[in-house]
Amino acid sequence: MQLTFLVDNCSLIGTTFLAEPALSMLIREDGRRVLFDAGYSDAFLRNARQMGEDLLHLDWIVLSHGHFDHTWGLDVLIRHYFEAARSRLDAARPRLLAHPDAFLTKRKGTTPEIGMLLAEDKLNTQFELALSREPVKLTDRLVALGQIERTLAFETPPPLGERMEPGGPVPDHMPDDTALAYVSDTGLVVISGCAHAGICNTVEHARKVTGVDRVRAVLGGFHLLDETPARLDPTTDYLASLDLEALYACHCTDLAAKVALARKCPLKQVGSGVTLEF
């Protein structure tokens, strides 16, 4: 598997790739091309062009959850496909996989919308929509984990605003949060978007879904922002106990969390344009 960070909060010294507080990855596995999240703006597409990456021939688009910093770039991607069609360029019709709740309106404070801007029916005209709470195999080795079970007591964050259910607003504990897992010959690679369900819960769920206990690497956003020791310490201890080859914490993982993780885990630097091979 090859994984490229199309956009992240950081861009590394010596590169000219754009960065924004958002996330998008391109994954190549078994001849398939998977776009995992689409960032906030056109930055992921501009970076992809600079890298020489073709986003017109994707097999899957997978959304980790319905927040703006992972989905609002879909508008730009649709324009990219529209312009290709108008210019009679060859393009695929990818399948778009998301949790059904990813499309609900999400609000926080006085901000009227922090969730998806595009409705299911509109997206279904552009892509082949696949909604699932259950795991979905993208290739023989790469699986979307579906709705993540929350079993660890220290990973019980407060709700992030509210989501609009048919019966009215409810506290949003982000049931639509999901992730990917790649089954390599030597163990799992767990790929998170924001890990609102908790990065340790995500790893445990990946183990359960795949039946593989050994974890090689964990990467993505861990949603560790201004965390107290009550959560940060057991999270660090859990990840250290996995005896990882590498830990790639990015996007919604703040500096204090990275420093804490680096004390016990093999933390590696991540940024827009970084490519990893597993």
The set of residues, in sequence order, having a beta carbon less than 8 Å from that of 131 and lying 6+ positions away, is 97, 98, 99, 100, 120
In tens, the pLDDT along 62-90 reads: 999 999 999 999 999 999 999 999 999 99
User: In angstroms, how far is CA 124 from the centroid of its own chain?
Assistant: 21
pLDDT score for 157: 85
Alpha-carbon gap, residue 243 to 84, rounded angstroms: 46
Alpha-carbon gap, residue 179 to 86, rounded angstroms: 34
Strands 162-165 and 106-107: antiparallel
Q: What angle do CA 277, 127, 275 make, to 5 degrees?
A: 15
Torsion of CA 118, 181, 172, 108, to 10 degrees: -60
Phi-psi map region of 91: left, alpha, beta (phi>0 left; psi -120 to 50 alpha): beta
From the number of C-beta atoms within 10 Å of its C-beta (0-12, 13-18, 19+), residue 200 rates as buried
Predicted TM-score (pTM) of the model is 0.97
Q: 74-79 — which CB contacts under 8 Å span 24+ positions?
A: 74/38, 74/117, 74/118, 74/123, 75/117, 75/118, 76/38, 76/41, 76/42, 76/44, 76/45, 77/35, 77/38, 77/45, 78/118, 78/126
Residues of the chain with pLDDT under 50: none
Domain 2-277 sits in CATH 3.30.930.10: no
Strands 106-107 and 95-98: unpaired
pLDDT score for 175: 97
Beta-bridge partners for 184: 187
Per-residue DSSP letter, 149 = P
Sequence ranges of the domains in the chain: 2-277
Q: Which two tokens stand for residue 255?
A: 């500096």
Q: Identify whether the C-beta of residue 11 lies closer than 8 Å to the C-beta of residue 49.
A: no
Strands 95-98 and 128-131: parallel
Write down how long the chain is. 278
238 closest CA partner among 194, 199, 206: 199
Backbone angles phi, psi at 27, to 5 degrees: -120, 130
